[in-house]
Amino acid sequence: MAGDWAGPWSTWQGQTPSGPPSYRPPGSSWLSCGSGGNFDTPEFRGMTFHEIRARTLVNKVPGASRMPFEWTVNPYRGCSHACVYCFARRTHSYLDLDPGEGFDTQIVVKVNAPELLRKELSSHRWRGQHIAMGTNVDCYQRAEGRYRLMPGILTALRDHANPFSLLTKGTLVLRDLDLLRSAAAVTDVGVSVSVGFTDEELWRTVEPGTPAPQRRLDVVRRLTQHGIPCGVLMAPVIPFLGDSPAQLRTTVRALAAAGATSVTPLALHLRPGAREWYFRWLHQHHPRLVRHYEALYADGAYAPKWYQRRITRQVHELAAEYGVGPAGPGTARRTAPPAPADGGSDRDGDGSGDAREEPAAENRCTQLTLL
């Protein structure tokens, strides 16, 4: 269980990518693990699915990490949510795939994920540790509607009474509500939804492939109503576009109205891969802000500590005002991991590189991995 795939990358013998030429990576080198194929589908026009049979699924977080869990499951690589800030973009380059448009349209699907997970959970070496999902890309992105991997994954976790958590921007999670409820009856289950802002104009440009914020809030409401406590990762809070006091208040008020059990804010971070793609978007949509971002992120992937602490303090104060407490240590452990510091190594590609941990303090800055 040392990684998502065993052995080195290789090419698919006798196969070529079927996506548009503009989405093909330099050299046309494609990963392979067992038999698979590349498929264009009319209902997902402009997207290509690369079906593979993975050799392992339960992924060990690197030992150097200080994340609050050790194991992750990621049935997909790449994400049709197309969030311009997504930190996981650079992981596509590990597969010789384009981290820009290719990340949004070239989706790697581990078609044997459910059966493989059941096998690994049955191993005498497995000790029933907590498994986190949604730490790299969204398990409930559009591809899940076609491949339906999550019902099998959740069933395997439930049948083994294995604790797990998941983080999503997808409304498709409601399809599996009954499975989540039956799993919660036998083990520890944590569910969080990512909603960084409620501004629909901003959403349409920065998160074009995701369900609208109000639809995600409906997910929070439905889950809570059906006995699945649901926290919100308020991520990302976007500097100069979504961080005014009025915008923060509007978002926190909406989260409270939806019944969120906790709210954990996260200021935008721009790691390599995501940084270049985000700045390209910024030049196109908000050129006047480019110099402000260059100054704010001059020292690396993260906004300055003073900015992060200001956002965290404001959101926590608003959450207290509206009756939603900030996520405590236990809740954070069950929702999402700390983000790797300074764009650290993440060769396993699941967002679980070297983690940064803020000291416990009233106004500590919380950094969590986002989708």
Position 333 scores a pLDDT of 33
Q: Which residue has the higher pLDDT, 131 or 332?
A: 131
Could you read off the pLDDT of 134-145 as tens digits, one per residue? Answer: 988 999 999 999
Mean pLDDT of the chain: 81
Whether the pLDDT of residue 355 is over 70: the answer is no
What pTM was computed for the model? 0.79
pLDDT confidence band for 13 (50 / 70 / 90): very low
Share of the chain above pLDDT 70, in %: 74
pLDDT at 26 over 70: no
Task: Give the residue with greater pLDDT, 22 vs 142.
Answer: 142
d(CA 301, CA 309): 16
pLDDT of residue 95: 86
Which tops the pLDDT comparison, 80 or 23? 80
CA dist 65 and 339 (Å) reads 10
